[in-house]
Amino acid sequence: MKNLLLIISLFAGTLVFAQNDSINPERITYEYFSGQSIDIKNNEGSIYPEMISGNKIVFQYSKQHAERPAISDDEMYESILFEVDSTWKKFTFKKKMALSKATYQLGCFCIGRGYHIIDGGYIKGKKLANGNYFIEADVFIKYDNGVKKKIKFKGEFKAINAG
């Protein structure tokens, strides 16, 4: 009986202290900010969005990828930021994606990192009875070398106090 208890304890300890993605697991957030707007800055060919006080609603989808302890510098973060008119209950951006000021951010130790303008696809959403928004997107960016990267998400976006 003591040996069985010892084996179970050792096995449980191994599971608790084993290195896996639970150290820094994948995390996805769906947030929106009322009374804000996006100002796209251009600095010598590099763009970046700045959230400023305004009369729009700014939405942010973000994904922090799981960290793999056995791989050095594998951290990766992705984010999509876009705005809509605060009076809209439903919206779809497809042919007029530029009106949304949609940008994609890739944060990593890799080629292509930084901010990119969303080149195409669609973003559609609707306001829910609880005040949140359900949004679905299937968009892409095009790197300078012509390669396209697709980003898809859907989820319920919840209000964040920007102040």
Confirm if 75 and 67 have CB atoms less than 8 A apart. yes
pLDDT tens-place values along the chain, 163 residues long? 555 444 555 444 444 444 444 567 878 899 999 999 999 999 887 889 999 999 999 999 999 877 766 555 557 789 999 999 999 999 999 999 999 999 999 887 677 778 999 989 999 999 999 999 999 999 999 888 888 999 999 999 999 975 4
List residues bridging with 7 in a β-sheet: none
Confirm if 62 and 76 have CB atoms less than 8 A apart. no
Percentages helix, strand, coil for the chain (3-state, rounded to 5) are 10, 55, 35
Confirm if 102 and 74 have CB atoms less than 8 A apart. no
**pLDDT score at 118:** 94
Confirm if 162 and 35 have CB atoms less than 8 A apart. yes
Handedness of CA 95, 139, 51, 106 (dihedral sign): negative
Question: Domains of the chain: which residue ranges?
Answer: 21-159
**pLDDT score at 154:** 97
Confirm if 135 and 125 have CB atoms less than 8 A apart. yes
| Radius of gyration for the chain, computed over Cα atoms and rounded to the nearest angstrom | 20
